[in-house]
Amino acid sequence: MLATAPVKNVGYYEDLAAEDYYLTGGEPPGRWFGEGAESLGLTGIVDEKHFSNLMAGLSSDGKEKLCQNVDNSNRVPAYDNVFSPDKSVSITWASVEPDERQLIQDAHDAAVRAALTFLEEKAAYTRRGRDGACLEKLSGLVIGTYQHSTSREQDMHLHTHAVIMNLGQREDGTWGSIVGRFLYTWRTAAAAVYQSQLAKEVSRLGYKINIADNGKSFAITGVSPEICKVFSKRSIQIEDAMNKYGAGARASKLGDDLSKYTRTKKTEIDRPALFSKWQRELVENGFDVSTLKLQEGPQIGFDSDNESFDVQALLTRLTENLSVFKECDMYREAALLAMKTGHSGNQAQLLVQEAKEDSNIVQLAIDARHNVLFSTKDMLAAEQEMISLAKQLRTTSFGYSILAEAVLDACEDQPFLMTDEQKESALEACLPCCLSIIQGSAGAGKTTLMKTVVDIHEGLGSKVIGAANTKAAALNLEEQAEIPGYTVTRLLGLLESGKPPLHKNEVLIVDESGQLGTFQVLELMKHAKRLGFKLLLVGEDKQLDAIQHGGVLKYLSSPDVIGTTRIETIQRQTQSWDRQAVADFRDGYADKALHQYAKRDQLRFGKNHEETLVLMVDAWKEFIQENPDKGYLMMAQRWEIVHQLNAAARIHLKSLGKLGNEDITVKGIVSKKAISFDVSVGERIRLTENDYEKNLTNGHTGTVLRVIRNLADEVVMYIKLDSGRTVKIRTSEYCDEQGRAFVAPAYAQTVYASQGLTIDGQTFIHYNSSMDRANTYVACSRHKEKATIFANKADIEEYIPPSHQNAPETEIKLIAGMAACMAIENRPKLACEYLTQEQEEHHKLEIIEHEPLHLLSW
């Protein structure tokens, strides 16, 4: 792990450099590192006075100012980068004999050096010129490194503080402040270099290692999670505090403040005494170190799934989800690939250099934050093929033409009144071409419109089927439009078969098409051209985009590509001001919407995360008590918050006697997140995976009628789904390879999972500062009756713009901070959108001759 934070408390770091800290405590002295330190003549052990002077922006002897803002009280003196291995490494290090302990310590030091050298090469920049307009690369950094052995709670915790001074020497010999932003840009890549190098070093010592599920770290085999938790009191303390205040990461301002706030004064360290104490406690907890290292020599415990360590494997990882990737992404993924396949961090960097020279790599541009952007010829070829096919389908005549009068007559015949926008969209959907795109605001009646389109085409004898990215959305389309509905994945499989469900002059309606990536849309278009059916894409590019290769719907909807017809008028919300608020969130006018919410007491602030959750759950409690038959949904962007909301809801329902006393613990999985929760009769449960054989649908919810744990230690649930059907679920059958059941509590969901839902009642939204325009728009448009937003003051205060810092009312300042976060757009773009005209022509020619070097999957 690598945590990066600006230094706030200079005194704490000066204590690190004090001689008596390590002479009396037993910790090794700090040591200088970096080419910047060498240029100042600083090598070997850190001197306290030199350290203090550099923290103040002065030369090491204190006689010269090295940066212009030395006297600025807001100046950041340095950046603390803390390198920590997995707790299993620290436990092993603490439990072995001194000679072996030194080898593990050396392995950690080597990994830290590799990561810091990497940061020097990639993240060392300064500015010069008026207002720092010119960015200049530095030759190196000035770093004081301090290896420590304990946490504040005296648990074993091998880690190194790398204090990077906010100073750098330019090529002409002058000095200036570094650009700290680059340390954050390259932090995850440096962390991956550290992990891969450490994994290599530890395996050389004879330890078997296991890669974590997320692929970002490793643990030593044989050190159980339970024993790690026993000796992780400090981490638990920080996590509890961060949960209380809702801090998303320790690298955030709030996370950094909490880490300092929860810090107890570090007592003197006596390493020999601590090692004896730890070894005794480990034995008391049943830990046997002799089982860790079964034989001499490297024990490469990597489960690489036959993944190779080469350019092709790297490009496959990079383009698995991304059309465009940054240089720092390349180094991060190369290092993680190295860790998984038994290679070092240094080898990972060489692999990136090789990849940059590969004929399949295309350098696109440099973005506004100075990130070098790349893609591949394979990706560009796929995009250009998709665009070309889209234009062909748009100009290809469909099997029959429908008179405009007939379309409008069909609109009038519907049992509901259609708006002019819906009628115009119906005309677009019935054009005699093989591709049409209809976009509409959340709650504008897109799916309702599709019933009209279906009636028109079926009235002329054409078959119409529907598809969506999720089975729940496909079933919703099936119900609303009265047509067969498929997931896109399943439909593509059927279209490849000998008995495709579509033929010439038939129609495919794809709902929520904004969540489809390049390769899914490309395959659908190929089949539309081959089989001769019409493809109708329905969705909105202002909602949450595809997880893989996003940006397709927005690009194709451009007037100079295909174009689109939009249904802007929102109908879902019952009140006119509420419909306008949804439009304001959509269009980037969140301040207007938030003031409307505040005026109606639908915007509430807690002083910390704990209070915010209490406010939200209390509002939910009041609603379900007064409206037992109405729908509701609690939402949050982060899964951890969803888990807390589900737990709080269950406690309340339990206290009311609405749940049984079974309390059977279930280990579940949702969106690759492992969870554990109790289940009783009356519980609201959500299914989290499609199972066609069992007719179970991801996203469907229901109520537990009966739950037991049988003699085989298997949990069996009888669930009455909201559709009325009762299903029997065995957790040993409806589960992943690790036996985790595909079920989760249904009181709260993530914002992403909620897209496409309509709540015939009220929603309760937990807002955090990372929710951008798309997240906010989706969250605040699910309800019919009312939505209430709950936010944590401590989270929002960091983002209050300077123009509102002195506003007379706290609420006005907080609304300004929220609006600033909500206005941010993080929409993905296609790789081809970054090409210059010259590049575009060049790559079109190259792609004609290009044979893909690797397969891309969606």
**∠562-567-568 over CA atoms, to 5°?**
115
Between CA 553 and CA 25 the distance in angstroms is 61
pLDDT number for residue 534: 96
Q: Which two structure tokens, joined as six digits, stand for 689?
A: 């995976």
Cβ-count burial 166-192 (b if 16+ within 10 Å, e if not): bbbbeeeeebbbbbbebbebbbbbbbb
Mean pLDDT of 582-605: 96
The upper half-sphere exposure of residue 257, i.e. CA atoms within 13 Å in the direction of its Cβ, equals 10
CB-CB neighbours of 12 under 10 Å: 14
Say which range, 57-71, 298-312, 546-560, 597-611, has the weakest mean pLDDT: 298-312
Q: What is the largest CA-CA distance in the chain?
A: 92
Tokens 């982060």 belong to residue:
638
Q: Which residue type is seen at 480?
A: Q
In the predicted model, is pLDDT for residue 334 greater than 80? Answer: yes
Distance of CA 342 to the CA centre of its chain: 26
More confident residue, 185 or 135: 185
Statement: residue 636 has pLDDT above 80: yes
Long-range contacts of 524-530, Cβ-Cβ distance < 8 Å, separation of 24 or more: 524/488, 524/492, 525/386, 525/389, 525/390, 525/393, 525/435, 526/389, 527/492, 527/495, 527/500, 527/502, 528/393, 528/434, 528/435, 529/389, 529/392, 529/393, 529/396, 529/434
Closest residue by Cα to residue 505 from 474, 464, 454: 464
Q: Do residues 533 and 505 touch, judged by C-beta distance below 8 A?
A: yes
Tell me the DSSP string of 355-389. Answer: HHTSTTEEEEEE-TT--EEEEEHHHHHHHHHHHHH
Q: What is the pLDDT of residue 226?
A: 86
DSSP 45: B
DSSP state of 768: -
Q: How confident is the model at residue 292 (pLDDT cuts 50, 70, 90)?
A: confident
Pairing status of strand 168-169 against strand 156-165:
unpaired
Specify the DSSP class assigned to residue 661: S
Indicate if the pLDDT at residue 305 is higher than 80.
Answer: no
Whole-number Å distance between alpha carbons of 423 and 429: 10
Which pTM was predicted?
0.84
56-68 mean pLDDT: 88
Is a pLDDT exceeding 50 seen at residue 244?
Answer: no
Distance CA 819, CA 593 (A): 9
CB 736 within 8 A of CB 670: no
pLDDT in tens, 761-777: 999 999 999 999 999 99
Q: Which two tokens stand for residue 723?
A: 């559709």
248 against 854, higher pLDDT: 248
Question: Residue 176: helix, strand or coil by DSSP?
Answer: strand
Q: Please compute the mean of the pLDDT values over residues 396-416 and round it to a whole number.
A: 89
Cβ count near 790 (within 10 Å): 25
Give the amino acid at 314: L
CA distance 282 to 848: 64
Which of 530, 519, 518 is closest to 508 using CA atoms? Answer: 530
Which pLDDT score is estimated for 836? 77
pLDDT in tens, 721-743: 998 999 999 999 999 988 999 99
Long-range CB contact pairs, 649-655, < 8 A, 24+: 649/617, 649/620, 649/745, 649/747, 649/748, 650/677, 650/678, 650/683, 650/745, 650/747, 652/617, 652/621, 653/682, 654/680
Higher-confidence residue: 400 or 302?
Answer: 400
Q: Which residue has the higher pLDDT, 9 or 324?
A: 324
Q: What are phi and psi of 388, to 5 degrees?
A: -60, -45
Taking the C-alpha atoms of residue 324 and residue 388, their distance in angstroms, rounded to an integer, is 20
Residue 61 Cα to chain centre, angstroms = 45
One-letter amino acid at 364 equals: L
What tokens does 227 get? 């024993």
Rounded Cα distance between 694 and 726, Å, is 12
DSSP 400: -
Q: Structure tokens of 503?
A: 């033929």
715 pLDDT tier (thresholds 50, 70, 90): very high
- Please tell me the distance from the alpha carbon of residue 536 to that of residue 437, in angstroms, as a whole number: 6
677 is written with which tokens? 């929760």
Cα–Cα distance for residue pair 35/33, rounded to 1 Å: 7
> Nearest 10 degrees: CA dihedral of 316, 336, 231, 608?
-70
Residue 646: CB atoms within 10 A of its CB come to 21
pLDDT at 246: 41
Q: Give the 3-state secondary structure of 694-763.
A: CCECCCCEEEEEEEEECCCCCEEEEEEECCCCEEEEECCCCECCCCCECEEECCEEEHHHHCCCCECEEE
